[in-house]
Chains A and B, each alone.
Chain A
Amino acid sequence: MPRQHAALLASLVAAVAVTAFGGALNAYHLDVAMNVGIAIILAVSLNLVNGHTGQFSLGHAGFMAVGAYIASACTLRLGPALASASSPVLAQHSLFLGALLLGGLVAAVAGFLIGLPSLRLKGDYLALITLGFAEIIRVIFQNTPALGGAIGLNGMPPLTTFAWTYGWVALTVFTVSCLINSTYGRGFLAVRDNEIAASAAGLNPTRYKIVAFTLGAFFAGIAGGLFAHLKLAIDPRGFDFFRSVEIVVMVILGGMGNTLGVIVAATLLTLLPEVLRPVAEYRMVIYAALLIGLMLVRPQGLFNVRLGKSRI
C-alpha cells in the first residue's frame, strides 16, 4: 500500500476513534477542534486554486455557501421523514453523507460554471470577478424565501461529528497532495510557473484551471455542509467577503502552494481568536498585529517544504 494511502486510512481510523471516545473531551474543545477541521478543508482546497495553480480566487465563501445551503435544505426536508426508520441514527448519518455530497457537487457545478468564463482573466481581474460571483451567490440566497431569505436556515440536526469533519479533512488533504504529486498534477504547478511555456509543452492551461476551480469548489461545498450542521443555523452574512478573505489569509500565511503550511496556518488562525478570548476587547487588535508580524517575519509562508515527496 503506498505511503499516502496508508496515511489516509490511519487518519480515517483515528477520526472515528476520537469520536467514539469523544465523551472524554469537553464540548467546547470538541467544537473548536471541528472548527479547525472545517478551516483546514477550506484552506487546503483554496490552496489548490490560489497556491498550486496560481489563480487568485476571492470567491471561496460563495462555494461554501452553496454547499451549506444545499446540504441544510436536504437534511431539513428529508430528515423528519427518517425519524421512524428502523435505525434512526444510521439513517440520519446516511442522509447527511448524501446531503454533503450533493452540496459539494452543486458547489462544484457552480465552480465550473463560474470558472468557464472568468478563467480567461488573470491576476487582479480574476480576483475581482470571483469576488463578484461570490457576492451574487450570497445575494441570491438572501433573496430566496424558500431558503430562509435574510434570516437563513436554522434547526438543522447536529450531525457534524469529529469523525465526519476529520474524515473529510483527511480526504481533502489526500486528494490535493496526491493530485499535485502525480504526473497529471504537475501540470497545475506548470500553469502557475509559466502559462506560455505550459502551452508550449502541450498542456491545456484552461483545462487545468477549470479542474482546480471545480475541485476546490467541491471541497468548499463539503466544508459548508459540515459548517451548517455544526452551527445549526446559517444566514447569508456568514458567507460574505470577509469569510473569503479569512481563507485567503490562511493560504498566504501557510505559504502559497504548500499544503502542510496551509494546514498549520488554518489551525493557528482558528485557534488564535479562542486563545485570545481572555483579553476580550483587545482580541482582534492582537490578532491583526500577529498577522502583520507573521507576514513581516515569514513573507514566504510559515513553511517552505512540499508535503509528500515528488516521485521523480
Chain B
Amino acid sequence: MLTVTNLSVAYGAIKAVNGISFEIPRGAIVTLIGGNGAGKTTTLQTISGLIRPTAGTIRFNDEDITRLAPHKIVARGLCQVPEGRMVFSNLSVAENLALGSYLHRDPEGVEHTRDYVFGIFPRLKERIKQTAGTLSGGEQQMLAIGRALMSRPAFLMLDEPSLGIAPRLVTTIFEKIVEINREQGITILLVEQNAHLALEISSHAYVFETGQIAVSGPSGDLRDDPRLKAAYLGG
C-alpha cells in the first residue's frame, strides 16, 4: 500500500534519514522503532508531506506522493497523528473533531464517523464541550487519534502515541489502535520508543539507527533478537 524507496532527508547539511526503503502491505500494523534522533519522526513527516526529501520516492496506492502538499496527501486517505499530541488547544473537543472531518461535507457521514470515534473513546464524548488544552495528556492523545479518524483514513500514521502519558492509558490506547486496525481495516504505521509494546501489536518492524534501517523483520522474531537490544540501546 505504501512503498518508500531510497528515501533521504536532510536538515541543511545534517542528514537525518539516509537512503531507507520499506514497504507496508494493506491492513497491516507496521512499526518503526529506534532511539532518539534515529530519523523515525523525520520519516513520518516526509511521508505526510511536511518535510521535503532530498532524494527517493514515496508511493501510496501506486501513486507518487513524494512532492504533494500535506493537505492533498490527507485527501488521498493517508493521515498522520503528529507527535506530542498536537490538538487545537483553544478549540473545544467537538471543534477539533469537526476540523478532522474538514475534507468531508456529508453531515450524515460525519455524524456516523463521530459516533464511531465516541464508541472507541467514550471519554471524548464526556468532554465534548471542554477546551482541548485543558484535557489530560492521555485524553489529548485520544483526541488527536479521534481527529485523524474523522478524516476517514485508509492509512494512519501514529507518532509516539505513548509519549508522556500515564502507563495505564498507554495500554488502553494501544488496545484501541489494534481495534481500529481490525474493525476498520485501517493500515497502521506506528513510530514508537516503547519497543516492547510496539512489537507486541505489530506484525512487522523496522529498527532505525542514525538515519538507516539497522534491522527489520517480523515483530515476533525481533522481540527476542539480541541485535535489536543492541541497536535500541545505541550500542
Binding site for B on A (CB under 8 A): 183, 186-187, 189-190, 192-194, 196-204, 310, 312
Contacts and interface: CB of A to CB of B under 8 A. Distances in A.
Given A197-B88, A200-B74, A190 B99 contact: yes
B94 A194 contact: no
A189 B91 contact: yes
A203 B89 CA distance: 17
A99 to B, nearest CB: 38
B163 to A, nearest CB: 15
B50 A202 contact: no
Contact of B82 (A183, A190, A196, A202): A196
B92 A310 contact: yes
A199 B50 contact: yes
Q: What 7 A-B pairs are tightest by C-beta distance, nearest first?
A: A202-B74, A197-B86, A199-B70, A193-B88, A204-B71, A202-B103, A312-B94
A197 B82 contact: yes
Given A197-B88, A200-B82, 13 more contacts: A186-B98, A190-B91, A193-B88, A194-B89, A196-B86, A197-B86, A198-B99, A200-B50, A200-B80, A202-B71, A204-B69, A310-B95, A312-B95
A140 to B, nearest CB: 34
Chain A at the B interface: SS class: helix
B48 interface: yes
Given A186-B99, A187-B102, A194-B86, A200 B48 contact: yes
B148 A200 contact: yes
Interface in B67-112: 69-71, 74-75, 79-82, 86-92, 94-95, 98-100, 102-103
B118 to A, nearest CB: 14
B218 to A, nearest CB: 29
A198 B75 CA distance: 13
B147 interface: yes
B48 A194 contact: no
A178 B106 CA distance: 21
A203 B71 CA distance: 5
Nearest to A202: B74
Residue in A186, A194, A197, A198 whose Cβ sees the most chain B Cβ within 10 Å: A197
A200 B44 CA distance: 11
B93 to A, nearest CB: 10
Contacts of A203: 71, 99, 102
A200 B91 CA distance: 16
A312 B100 CA distance: 14
26 contacts: A183-B102, A187-B102, A189-B91, A190-B88, A192-B90, A193-B91, A194-B87, A197-B82, A197-B144, A198-B99, A199-B49, A199-B74, A200-B48, A200-B79, A200-B81, A200-B86, A201-B99, A201-B100, A201-B147, A201-B148, A202-B71, A202-B100, A202-B102, A202-B103, A203-B99, A310-B92
B94 A201 contact: no
Nearest to A257: B90
B152 to A, nearest CB: 10
Contacts of B202: none
Contacts of B31: none
Contacts of B49: 199
Contacts of A190: 88, 91, 99
Nearest to A204: B71
Given A197-B82, A201-B100, A189 B88 contact: yes
B79 to A, nearest CB: 7
Contacts of A186: 91, 95, 98-99
Most chain B beta-carbon neighbours within 10 Å: one of A190, A199, A200, A203: A200
Given A193-B89, A194-B89, A199 B48 contact: yes
Q: Counting chain A CB atoms within 10 Å of each CB, which of B80, B92, B99 scores highest?
A: B99
Given A196-B82, A310-B95, A201 B102 contact: yes
Interface in B94-151: 94-95, 98-100, 102-103, 144, 147-148, 151
Contacts of B95: 186, 189, 310, 312
A202 B91 contact: no
A198 B81 CA distance: 11
Nearest to B153: A202
Contacts of A194: 86-89
Contacts of B81: 200
